[in-house]
Amino acid sequence: MNYLGIEAFLAIVQTHNLKRAAELLHLTQATVSYRLKTLEKDMGAILVERSKGVQRITLTPFGENFVNIAERWQVLKRETEILQASGSQLRLSVGGSNSLNTYVLPPLYRALCQHMPKMRLQFVTQHSVELYDTLERREVDVAFVKMERTVPNIVVTPFFVDEMVLLRRATAGNLEAGVHPDELNCDHEIYMNWSPSYQIWHDRWWDTFNSSRIRVDTAGLIFSLLQDPKQWSVVPKSVAAAFVKSGQFAIQQLLDQPPGRVCYKITHKYPKSTISKSLSILDNYLDLILSDA
């Protein structure tokens, strides 16, 4: 559609006068009149009433109906120009399990948010099992999970091993010394199944099904429920470090060390070409953050 004609038409609508419309557009009256006539020819209809000696211009019924369309066309033109000026914008959709998104990945996410040129970012939180399906459907471009699965077209890469530690309420006592699992009363445990390997270690010392009185499925609940100095929970160090910052909790080492929680990055075997650069940027930041950890 003739955008110059639409611009002239909207200037006439705004000023109701051909001379003032020309001044608004910094054009001659003849140019504005020509652009209007060209638009009317393209539309196959008269938009503006023309009467000799009448300075105030009025619209035909067709012109009145066309105003709204012309205004929307002008908005679309401006948005297109903004998009063209910004160039090809980077974008990335990242998925993560709740504990990874909360305690491990925020430094990575902050780095991506501050990257220049700016990226269009989406962060999704789901269970690890769900994230495999979400990635396979290409609803996210990359995801970070707590478990390894064999899924067609999904590449699974370990990216981080989180040491497991004992978390307790901070007291005046010495919490620096290591603790053996034999010393822990399982009746005071707040239990969360962090991984299959952790479950096997846990079952060596306690009957998980019968002895763990309080069981949770999100790390945040441990923070809320760990109130008594007798209570304890075995958690990844990244989670424990976030709790310790509050000043209410302390970390102890376990003398029989549980296996670390292995965290995985998963990507599609055939990633979209439009996000290859964004994935490379993510990998660079991830390497830098892990090397500083």
- The CA angle 280-283-286, to the nearest 5 degrees, is 155
Average pLDDT in the chain: 89
Across the range 172-193, mean pLDDT stands at 82
Q: What is the rounded CA–CA span in Å between residue 88 and residue 271? A: 18
Verdict on whether the full-model pTM lies above 0.85: no
pLDDT digits (tens, 9 = 90+) for 53-107: 667 888 999 989 999 999 999 888 887 877 676 656 789 999 999 999 999 999 9
Domains of the chain and CATH, by start: 3-86 (1.10.10.10), 90-161+262-292 (3.40.190.10), 164-259 (3.40.190.10)
Residues 6 or more apart whose CB falls under 8 angstroms from that of 243 comprise 167, 222, 223, 226, 235, 249
What pLDDT does residue 267 have? 96
Give the model's confidence band at 176: pLDDT under 50 very low, under 70 low, under 90 confident, else very high: low
Q: What is the rounded CA–CA span in Å between residue 113 and residue 117? A: 10
Model confidence at 150: pLDDT above 80: yes
What pLDDT does residue 208 have? 65
